[in-house]
Each structure stands twice: as structure tokens, then as C-alpha cells.
Chain A
């Protein structure tokens, strides 16, 4: 059915024939994904939906099922590790969700049942229950307001957690209901639940949205209300609007997946080549089944195509190390551990809130280095949301508030005389400030609102009189408080009468006749009040542009100067005017306004016309300047971001003027910036309709900003130039929705692309009067535009949540507006200024680190597995592994994993200070520069070159396998071990070449891994392992080291493999400002050392490691081979060499230490 019938209090309506208790869902909220029972299967299913995991699972299964050259453990163990860690992490997160759900569901609520109040758990509320809610509680479900403790049948709510609007909204009780709720019998018919927050259809009893209280909203300023539950649990608007936090994937991960596909292709083609060649080779006579390797009966019986397929799978398994599961582990670890540096950074620590940065997801660290668009909220993010009355100008004289010691209660004229007339004007102005607003006073005695933290001294206010103000706009409060500072206190509005206390502490009373509400087109508001003496006065305040035409021109010039100066200083300015209405005038206005309000058709237009008519011929009293203080270093931060090539867009729900002044204040707009304005105001045109005008303006701006702009140089992807005309773009919410959804659908895509092109060519864009969803819409639009740029949203309030969730990276500011933004963000910092270091230093470094990590991982596995592939050509495609199983398994886990992990955590190719000082450095890594196809190709070619080098270098050596001086020959495991040794040393030294920042950790892991490799090889080959059936590597390594030729080939192959890399590093001309900076900052030409670091420990470490290596290899070799006569010869030579090297090392050490 399309509607639901609700029986209030479950009492059947007398006029309906039967009471049918219908089934509605209960009030339980479920945001968790798993239960105890389905966790394992569901989680595993989700994890194996990832390509990489699925691939490794397949490889593992193949290894289990098919006869393969390597053990299933080699790929099963790492996979198991990855899956388990992820499952634990996700399980923990879901447990937290369960906990949060439970907290909501078990929250105690009071329900009226048969005349009694019954305490219940929130989840037990049923549709039709009458629920009691007290002040500052959130509504447990969607309610229809039946009764309020306020006399006028209203209640105030704030929907901050729903849509971010923190102002107080008035809701009304259902009219004409019985006061006695016990006796109330009613049915409510309403629509089936739907998610749109702003669309309500409650046809019966003519209920409207003003009667509906939404779950999640908070009751304010009202002691108690009763309401009947209409939507519960997952059917509430909030639950229907709840979108789970979608998994954000970084651009790096996308690159990894692309590279993965390339490597998968390489892998498959390798397997195909080997399989094909195997069967080609076997088809030759005598090679299929030589006498020395006859087939079993089973082999003979099996189908040839099946055999080919299993061979193919075996080759796949043999080469599968080219796509290393350990890369995913290392990337995860790098991200997880790396994110600690953000939390640890003491520069992010804010002593005020005693908190540092918070990392909610570590998946996006590197994305911080790739940001192209920054979407920032204004209030609370760019500004402190801390309005302060700075100064005013009354009748052309400037008044600036000084400390209370100065005369006139601190109200000081800084220029100009003070006389009686002036004082009268002054008081009129202050009265206007006190009266012309829609501020409500929060009753004394209740807790002080957060807005009241202004520096108002207690001189004027007795403690018991301390009051909070509630208004939809914080500058209204600032004005009222400003007036209070100067002696006029607004006491409140009670039954249409406003009370103010003047300087003489007398209470003045005004009757509020009309409020001419603020609207963005008129950009002013007015009140009409009647004094006790019967005078009718109209006070009007508004933007200068909307007030000046409506006052006497001779008054304007005196004030305009002040207003303009204030505006360029970044203050929000308002002009105040007044007019005395004669009785006739008022009567006319009164009837006009009443008629317009009651008009059934064109009410808006009629009201507007009436307002315009009333607000005419006023006289200007003065102007105010209110400062919304910028966040610390807001301007510097914005400048740095722009210098780094990022485009900053300000998305705010605020008015255009204030937003514009903020943009000027934080230097997003500068003096030379030409503003392109696309707002409701510029769309107003007598000749054209709105959409036509929109079309015209879009075309015009496009011509200006895009077509006439000099073409962007090829290669320079970010159009950033200081020489050209800067454009700033301003659009408001209403116009934006017109752009997005024009009357004619055909224009939609054209408008959108025009709009995007204009915006992309502007240095800064300001979007004002945005609804939260519109913010997300804009982010989404930019995100999906050509080239899919990386976006970042930063905000502090609940209204920024949507854009924080939408952007690639969401940053929350731990501001005053609650924790909503922080909870939904990916990273949270205490202040806006921290964004600079987060992006320019951390983001940059993380990107460089992880990009290098990814490329290095692919490279080192390519040159690891290429020799194995080449070896197949020399072993009859028999899937004989080149390396021992231990080496195959340990290569990625132990021998080469730690140096790259340390690199990817500690590397600073450029120091943090330089990164922060030169924002332009950020542009060097723009557009995923280190993970594009070009560098990938470079690394791949390098890997192939080195792989070929390793294999063929050793192959030429093995053209005569008699490599020992006693003529004994080396076998295939020696071959593999030599290749492997060269491999491990080369890839580790390659990383050492790339390391620009050698901390002791880097030294430790790089030299440590090499030493570990040597030790492990000795150890592994030095013992007969009881669990191994074949002791393949038994003494292979030690024997290898006893051959001079093996040593020599290892040394030359390592050098030859690294030669191109060294040449490239040397011959690459240092470019850009930073290289010069680096060279400048390091005055030593040969071996530059950080001055704070003693060079000796590092030398000592290196030498001692080499020394230990030598001694140990000698001792092991000596001990294990001592009693053989035929091998005594190498030992004596060894001894000689050893003592020689020892002497040399010791003398060097001694020299070094002195």
C-alpha cells in the first residue's frame, strides 16, 4: 500500500470499523555488517572479491591440486597471513559498530502507556507509541509532535547531525488536538518511508513537515514534548539517509592494479611460451620419452590436452612469484606504520584542545601527495566561527571598541567630535542593533551556549543575567553583543514585545509589529516596531549595495568610505538604516504585508514587492564591521596550497558577501583577481529569463577565462601562472542547481562542461549558499571530470560530512562544531594550518615512498623470476626451479623485504623543511608522476636487463662447471645459488643507491639483510635438516664461496647490473630549485654528511659488518671442511686472504677511529 495508517497510542479510532494492528519494523538500528555466525563466510567472500586475493587463492589451489615444482606453503602462508590480518581488522571495526548500535538501541526512553510513563529501551518503540522527549535529548524515532511544554505549542530542534544546520528550527504541535493525551484517539495516515530529508507528505489531518520531528535531531530550549512514533528503526529518515562509509581507494592502488595486470600478462605469456616450447621440443624424436626418463603408466594414459593444461598451471605456479603476495603485506604495513608519523607529529599537536592529528584510515597516506583540488568549508575551517564586533561607523564617525577603562563605557570615537546630536544618533544606532534581528534569548539559568565565549566582560552583566543568544546567523549575535558592550542590552522577546535595557539601566519596551525576513536576493532585513510613546519605527540592516540605493544619497558618501575600507580588511559589513513611519504609512504597510502574506498566488513576489515598497526612503545611521577571525595562518596555508598547484574551492553555506570577504582575507582572491560572478543577483535581468541569462553569462565567462586565456603549455599539466590575469569564480547554490538541472535537459551536459572549464581555469572558486548535498555534488562533479583529479575536502561541521565522504581524501578539523566531521573524515587535524604540512611534507613523502616501494617490488620480482624463466630453456621445460624452495620463499619475506620497508617509512629524498618552504616541489609529483607508465617501463627494463645479466653471466661461467681449483664441478643448485646471491646483493644495493636519507635504521636493515642472507645460506646449507627429504643445498653455499671464480663472477655481475643506474644518477643534470637547494645545503662536495651526525658510527657499522661477514664465513668454512685432505689447499689460501683482510680492516678501523 502507498500509505500507512497509524493509531495514536494503539487506540482504535471509533469511526473505523476494526482495529488492525499492522506490522511495522521495530526501532532497532543496524549499521553493522556481520553477525557472529555469518562473519567468516561473508568476510571471506568479500575479501576474495579483491582481484589480488582471488589470484593468490587460485595459485594456492593449483599448487595443492596439481603436481607443481613448489610447495603450496610458499604461497599459502602469506595469503593466510594477509587474509587473517584483514579479517581481524574488519571484525574489530564491525564490533565497534555493534557497540555503537547497541548504545543507540538500548538508550532509555519514556513511553506513555495507558496513562503511565514507562521507561523502555529505544529499540522497543513501536509505531504508534507516544514518546516523551526532554530537552537536549535526541529523538529516538521520527515523531509527530503532539504536545509541547511551551505554551505556544512549539518546540525548537536542531538538526545538526542530520544536515549540519546548527540553528534552531521551530516545530509546531498538531493543531486542534486534545490536551489530554490519554484520551486522544486519532489515526495518522502517512506515506511509506522515503529517504528525501526535505520531502514529507503527511496528507491526513493536514500535517506538515513542521509537525514532524526527525530521529537524530535534538530538542532544544523546550522542556518536554510528546510525540507519536510514525517511522521507526530502519525506516526513519535518518536510517534511510545513512550511507555506509564507502571504501576509498587511492590512485596508487589503481596503479598497482594496472601494473598487476601487466605482470599477469607477462606471467601468462611466460607460462604459455614454456608450455608451447615444451611440447614442440618433446615432439622431436627421442626427446618425448628418452630412455633415462620414461613415463609412468598414468602419464601415458592421461589426456594430452589435460597434461598441457596442468603443465601450463605448473609453469604459472613456478613463475607466480613475479606477483608477490608480500607486496600487499608490505604496502599495508607501510601504510599502517607510516600513518603513525602523522599521529606522532608534534607540529600537529594543538595545546588548546590537547590533541594531535588523528588518522582514521591509513589507506590514503600517499593520496595526500596527489591532491589537485581542495574543497574547503569556510565557517570554522577558514574562519574560527567566532564573530566579533570590531567597529562601527555612526554618521560618518568611526567608533572602535577599546578596553573598558576608556570613556563612554569603552565606546570611543576615534575620529571626530562628540556632541549631543552625535550621542543621540549613537543611541539610535545602538537601539537599531538591539531591535533589528531575529535573535532569541536563551532563558537565564540554563546552561551557557558555546556561542557565548566571546570576550564579553562581566562588568555589564551580572552573573545571574548571563545569557546565551540563539540565532540562525552568528553575526546577528555578534551585533547584539556589540550593542551590549556599548550599553544596550537586548533582554528578549516576549509575546511580541521586545525589551532592551539602555545605558541608564532603564528597560525600554518595543512592540514588534513586523519582521521583514532576510533573503539572499534582497540581502537585507527589517523590523517594524512601535515604541511605548507610540512612534512606529522601521529599522533595516543589510548589505551596503542593497541599503545605499534606499537611503538619502547625501548620507551615503560619509559612510561608504568606511564600509569599503572595512570590506577590504576582510570584515563583514552591514549598513543600518531607519525610517519613522507615520500612522498612515504604517497602516498602508501593515495591510499590504498582511495581504501579501495571505495571498494564495505569487505570494513570494507580492511579499517581495511589499518589502521593497516599505524599505524605501530610509535614512542611513551607520555601518557595522564584524570580524569572523581567520584561523591561524589561514592565508599562508592557502597561499602554500595554491603555490603547490592545488586549486582551492571554498564551499560554504554562508552568504556571498561574507564568504567573499573571507576569500579576500585569506588571499584566495587578490586585488588583481577578476571575479566572475554567477549568482542569483547577476542572473536578475529585466530583458532575459533566468535560464537565458545563465546561458549568456556562462558563455561570456567561458570566453574570458578559457578561450582568451593563453593556452596551457604542453607538459605543464597544471595551469598555474602568476603572469596571467587571475580569475575568481563565484556561484551560489540556487544558480548551481540551475546549472546542474537546467529547465531544458538538453543543456545539462553543456552547462556542466562550461561550468567546469571556467572553474578549472580560475585560481579560486567560491561556492556560497550551498546545501550540504550540493557540496558533495560539486566535489563529485570535479572528481568525475576529465583526468579524474584527486580531490580533498576539509571541513569541521556536520554539514561538511557529505563532501568529506565524497572527496578522495576527507579531512576533518577538530573544531567547535562537534565531532561529526572528524568521525567521518579520513584524517583529522586540530587546525587548518596543519593542512600545509600534512600535504606538502607528509603527503609528498608518503607518495614518493610508496611509489618507490611499488616500483621496486615489481622490479625485484621481475629480475628474481626472469632467470627462473630462462632456465626452463636449459632444462627441457621440465619446470625445474632454479632456486631452492627456501630461497624462493625467503626472498620476498626475509632477504629483500626489510630494506624496502625501512626505505618506505624513513626516506626523505628532500628534507621536510625544504618541502615546506618550496610549495612548488609538490607539483613535481603531480598526476601520479612516479607511477605512470614511463617510470614503470624504466623499472621493468631495468629488471629485465638485470635478470638477463644474472642468468647469462652465470651461464657463461658454467660453460665450464669445473670452478674449484681441485677440478670438482658445480651442479644446478650451485648455479641457482650464484644467481640468487648476485640477485640479492644487486637489488639491495640498488635500493641503497636510491636511498637519500641514511638513518641508522637504513644502515642496519640494508647491511643486516645482506649479512642475514649470508648467514642463512651458511646455516641452511650447513646442517642436514631432518625434515627435508633432499638436502639440495647442503654445503652448496660454502662450496661456492671457496671458488674464486664464483666470487669474481658475483662481483662483476653486481657491478655490471648497477652500472647503468649509477651512470644515470651521475649524469642526470640536477634540475629544479630543490636540487640546487640540496646541493647548497650540503657544502661538502664529495661525501656530504649531516652535521648533526657523527660519521664514525656508520663507517664503523659498515666495516664491522664486513668484518663479521668475513670472519664468520671463514670460520664456518674452516670448521665444516677441516678434515679433508683434498681441500686443505683452499683453506690455507683462505687463511692467508683472511689474515690479510683482517690486518687491512683493523688498520683502517684504527685510522678511522683516530
Chain B
């Protein structure tokens, strides 16, 4: 018994307890770093060129329609334009949209209840301040306006539309009844169930514009997808010509020095036009190549001096 006890006291002679686990001991030597830098550099330059060229092919036309200036077309809330643009319509806003109440998930304050203590649906400051300008685009052919069909489907995230947001089930086969006992947000002209009178499936919480808006922008200057031009004669893009964009101007921004822009753009595999990524890749790629050359020089020098030391 005693011997067993003593033997138990002897430390285990395992690789782990003796800190002798087999180990890989990599050394970032110049021999491995220089070639890999060169390779990475070249690869990055390749990607950078691809990104940059792609970004260059994306056409963008944008127009500030805030109407702040007297001579601005939006001063009359309409613009006339003769640009040969392609297919995507976006609008841009220049405001600071920080929503303070957002950090308390359950708290829609101060937009949770109206003065009669009726719940507001949808509640919260974001929903209350939904962007409500609307646009109609016309191509002017020989003086006559031909409306360009705008596709509002699939502008919000698929998951937002199909899973994350759900409408209340209809009461007595009336969708509006399910909102009984609630009031519309203060700034909304219409209740949630009447957002899109043309399409009954685009109402309530499942309104595409509402969902786009509810996906809060990251930065104060942001743009959101408004419509796609995918249908009819314009499926291949907007042919060159004069267009007129009719803006139903509802959204006030001047009180907080905001600007509104409308942007027509096409997209590519990398998304919208963004030169930053291409340039960044080019810069970092060439940096890597330069580094590998510098390192080669330094390494050669160091190695020679080291040899001298040894000799």
C-alpha cells in the first residue's frame, strides 16, 4: 500500500506534463517570407486590377434633389434630364440618422404609445421616420413621356421579407382588422396596412420599402435600394435618352441640414461602384512586391555580413 502511495506521488512522465509535447517551431525566415510576399503581392495586384476595372465599368449618375438651392430642379420637386443611364435606380440621402432608442431592444420610446396610450405599430423612431419620397421615371421620346416600370420586389433582404418579419394573421379575413387597437406612427400619413394600395402583399410589416428602411444604415451618409429597372423594354438597361424623374417630395431634411440624392447605377459582381477596394488591393499588392525586394536586399546584405562574422 505504501509503495503504491509513493508511486502515485511520482509525477507522470508524459509529454504534456513534462512540457515536451512534440511541436512545430516555425521561423518566419526571409527564405519563406520573401517568396510569399512576392506571390501575395502579385496576386493582390491581379485582384486589384480586376476590381478596379470592374468598378470603372459601373456607370453611376447621381443628382442632388434636396432643392435647397433656388435653381435646383427639385425646387419644383421635378427634374428633367437627358442622361443615357443604365438600369438601376437608387437614391441617396445625406443625413445623420442616429437613433438613440435603438439600443434598448424592447424600448420603442418615445415612439411606443401615442398620447392616448394606444400602441403605435410599427413602433420606434426608425419606423416613424420612414423615407416617404416616391419616384416615377419617364423616358421622353419625341416629347411624349413613356413611364419606365420600376420593380420594387426583392429590394430587401430575402430573410427579412420571408423569415424575420411576419404580419399578424388576418382577423375575419380582413388584414386591417388585425391592426385594431393600434395607431399608426405619428409621421406616417397612412397606417401600416395601407402602405401599398396596389399590391395587397406589400403591406404591413412586409412592405419592401419598410424593410429596406428598417435595415438601419451604418453611416450617416448612406444610400438604400429603391427600385430596380428590370422589366419590359428596359430589361437590358436604360437606353440613352432623356428621362424625367417625378419626385413626390415628402421627406423633410433641411431642418437637420440633410441632403437627398437620387442615384442611377448598375451593379456588378462586386456590388455597386466602389474604387476603394481596387485601389487598396493595388497599393497593398505593390507594397508587398516592393517589400519583398527590399527584404531581399536587406537579407542579402545581412547574410553576407553574417558570413563575414563567421569567417
A843, B270: Cα distance in complex, Å: 53
Check B90 against A1090 for contact (C-beta < 8 Å): no
Interface bits A980-1015 vs B (CB < 8 Å: 1, else 0) = 000000000000010011111111000000000000
Least CB separation from A1065: chain B residue:
B28
Mark out the residues of chain A between 997 and 1053 whose CB falls within 8 Å of any chain B CB in the assembled complex: 997-1003, 1024, 1028-1032, 1034-1035, 1039, 1043-1045, 1048-1049, 1052
Chain A residues within an 8 Å CB radius of B162 = 1123-1124
Contact, CB under 8 Å: B223 / A962: yes
Residues A1030 and B105 in contact in the complex (CB < 8 Å), given A965-B267, A968-B225: yes
Question: CB-CB < 8 A to A1124: which residues of B?
Answer: 154, 158, 162
Contact with A along B1-40 (1 / 0, CB 8 A): 0000010011111000111011111111111110000001
Asked if A1043 and B271 make an inter-chain contact with CB atoms under 8 angstroms apart, the answer reads yes
Decide if B218 touches A958 in the complex (CB within 8 Å). yes
Q: Are A1024 and B164 in contact (CB under 8 A)?
A: yes
Q: Give min CB distance, B140 to chain A, whole Å.
A: 25
Q: A997-B23, A998-B24, A1055-B284 are in contact. Are A1031 and B223 (CB under 8 A)?
A: no
Asked if A292 is at the interface of the complex by the 8 Å CB criterion, the answer is yes
Instruction: For B156, list chain A residues within 8 Å (CB).
Output: 968
Asked if A1029 and B272 make an inter-chain contact with CB atoms under 8 angstroms apart, the answer reads no
The answer to whether residues A874 and B220 also contact, given A965-B271, A1066-B28, A1090-B22 and a CB cut-off of 8 A, is: yes
Contact B217–A344 (Cβ < 8 Å): no
**A246 contacts chain B at the CB level, 8 A cutoff:** no
The yes or no answer to B268 lying at the interface (CB within 8 A) is yes
B51 touches A1048 (CB 8 A): yes
A296 adjacent to B277 (CB under 8 Å): no
In the complex, A69→B295 CA distance in Å?
Answer: 47
- Bound-state CA distance A1087–B162 (Å) is 51
Q: Kindly state whether residue A1098 has any CB partner on chain B within 8 Å.
A: yes
CB pair A355–B9 under 8 Å, yes or no, is yes
Cβ of A710 under 8 Å from chain B: no
B:84-123 near A, CB below 8 Å: 88, 90, 96-106, 109-110
Question: Contacting B157 at CB < 8 Å: which of A953, A968, A1000, A1095?
Answer: A968
Q: Which of A1052-1095 contact B (CB under 8 A)?
A: 1052, 1055-1056, 1059, 1062-1063, 1065-1067, 1069, 1078-1079, 1082, 1085-1090, 1092-1093, 1095
Contact indicator B102/A906 (Cβ below 8 Å)? no
Query: A290-B255, A1089-B24 given as contacts; is B187 within 8 A of A971 (CB)?
Result: no
Instruction: Please pick, from A964, A974, A1086, A1090, the residue contacting B23 in the complex, using a CB distance under 8 A.
Output: A1090
Interface string of B142-172 (1 = CB under 8 A from A): 0000000000011111111011100000000
Q: Chain B residues near A1048 (CB, 8 Å)?
A: 47, 51, 270, 277, 281
Contact B257 A286 (CB under 8 A): yes
B273 within 8 A of A: yes
| Contact among A961, A1045, A1088 for B222, CB-based, below 8 A | A961
Q: Do residues A971 and B215 form an inter-chain contact, with CB atoms below 8 A?
A: yes
Contacts of B200 in A (CB 8 A): none
Q: Distance (Å) between the CB of B275 and the closest chain A CB?
A: 9
CB pair B255 A286 closer than 8 Å? yes
A321 shortest CB reach to chain B, Å: 15
Q: Which residues from A are CB-within-8-Å of B284?
A: 1052, 1055-1056, 1059
Instruction: Output the least CB separation between A432 and chain B (Å).
Output: 46
Q: Indicate if A908 sits at the interface (CB-CB under 8 A).
A: yes
- Contact between chains at A962 and B90 (CB < 8 Å): yes
User: Which of the residues B6, B17, B163, B271 comes within 8 Å of A960, measured between beta carbons?
Assistant: B271
Could you say which of B10, B274, B291, B295 contacts A346, with CB atoms under 8 Å apart? B10
Q: How far is the CA of A1087 from the CA of B11 in the complex (A)?
A: 34
Do A972 and B270 touch across chains, with their CB atoms under 8 A apart?
no
B245 at the interface (CB under 8 A from A): no
**Known: A295-B110, A1044-B269, A1052-B280. Contact between A1082 and B90, CB under 8 A?**
no
Chain B residues near A967 (CB-CB < 8 A): 88, 90, 155, 225, 228, 267, 271-272
| A71 to B: closest C-beta gap in Å | 10
Q: Which residues of B contact A1066 (CB under 8 A)?
A: 28-30, 33, 295
In the bound complex, CA of A976 to CA of B102 (Å): 15
Contact of A1044 among B22, B102, B265, B270 (CB under 8 A): B270
- Shortest CB-to-CB span from B295 to chain A, Å, is 6
Given known pairs A286-B256, A962-B225, A999-B23, the reply for A294 and B11 (CB within 8 Å) is no
Q: Are A1093 and B31 in contact (CB under 8 A)?
A: no
Smallest CB–CB gap between A1010 and chain B, Å?
A: 17
Q: Which residue of B lies closest to A1049 (CB)?
A: B277
Q: How far is the CA of A955 from the CA of B221 in the complex (A)?
A: 11
* Stretch of A51-59, A225-233, A774-782, A875-883 with 4 or more beta carbons under 8 angstroms from chain B: A875-883
Partner of B40, one of A345, A1002, A1055: A1055
- Segment 301-351 of A: residues with Cβ below 8 Å from B: 340-341, 343-346, 348-349
The main secondary structure of chain A at its interface with chain B is loop
Query: Which residues of A465-499 are within 8 A (CB) of B?
Result: none
B190 within 8 A of A: no
Given known contacts A292-B129, A296-B109, A880-B103, A961 and B217 CB-to-CB distance under 8 angstroms: yes
- Contact B125 A293, beta carbon cutoff 8 Å: yes
Answer whether residue A291 sits at the interface, using C-beta atoms and an 8 A cutoff.
yes
Min C-beta distance of A1064 to chain B, whole Å: 10
User: Complex: how many Å from CA A970 to CA B256?
Assistant: 24
- List chain A residues, Cβ under 8 A from B153: 1126
A2 contacts the other chain (Cβ, under 8 Å)? no
- Judged by a CB distance under 8 angstroms, whether A287 is at the interface is yes
Residue from B27, B129, B218, B228 within 8 A of A1082 (CB atoms): B27
B residues within 8 A CB of A970? 215, 218
B159 nearest in chain A by CB position: A1035
Roughly how many angstroms separate A1056 CA and B37 CA in the complex, as a whole number?
A: 12
Interface contact B158-A1127, CB-CB below 8 Å:
yes
Q: A879-B103, A971-B217 are in contact. Are A344 and B158 (CB under 8 A)?
A: no
Contact with B along A50-82 (1 / 0, CB 8 A): 000000000000000001110000000000000
A356 contacts chain B at the CB level, 8 A cutoff? yes
Are A1120 and B220 touching (Cβ within 8 A)? no
Residues of the B chain whose Cβ atoms lie less than 8 Å from the Cβ of A345: 11, 17-19
Closest to B186 in A: A294
Interface pair A969/B212, CB less than 8 Å apart: yes
Which residues from B are CB-within-8-Å of A611?
none
Chain A, Cβ-Cβ closest to B255: A286
Query: Which of B19, B28, B99, B224 touches A1062 (beta carbons < 8 Å)?
Result: B28
B280: chain A residues at CB < 8 Å are 953, 956, 1049, 1052
In the complex where A1045-B270, A1063-B291 touch, is A908 in contact with B23 (Cβ < 8 A)? yes
Contacts of B29 in A (CB 8 A): 1066, 1085-1086
A974, closest chain B residue (CB): B218
A953 to B36, CA, bound (A): 23
| Nearest CB in chain A to that of B124: its residue | A1030
| Minimum distance in angstroms from B99 CB to a CB of chain A | 6
Q: How far is the CB of A905 from chain B (nearest CB, A)?
A: 9
Rounded to whole Å, the gap between the CB of B220 and the closest CB of chain A is: 6
Q: Are B157 and A1035 in contact (CB under 8 A)?
A: yes
| B65 adjacent to chain A (CB < 8 Å) | no
Q: Is the CB of B219 within 8 A of A955?
A: yes
Among B27, B215, B271, B280, find the residue whose CB has the most chain A CB atoms closer than 10 A. B271
Interface residues of chain A, those whose CB is within 8 Å of chain B, are 67-69, 286-287, 290-296, 299, 340-341, 343-346, 348-349, 354-356, 874-881, 906, 908, 912, 953, 955-976, 993, 996-1003, 1024, 1028-1032, 1034-1035, 1039, 1043-1045, 1048-1049, 1052, 1055-1056, 1059, 1062-1063, 1065-1067, 1069, 1078-1079, 1082, 1085-1090, 1092-1093, 1095, 1098, 1120-1121, 1123-1127, 1133
Could you write out 10 A-B pairs with CB less than 8 Å apart?
A343-B11, A881-B103, A955-B219, A965-B270, A968-B225, A969-B212, A969-B225, A1039-B159, A1052-B280, A1052-B281
Give me the 5 closest cross-chain CB pairs, A-B, nearest first: A292-B129, A876-B98, A962-B272, A975-B218, A1093-B22
Known: A346-B10, A881-B103, A1048-B281. 6 other contacts (CB 8 A): A293-B125, A956-B276, A961-B219, A966-B267, A971-B215, A1049-B277
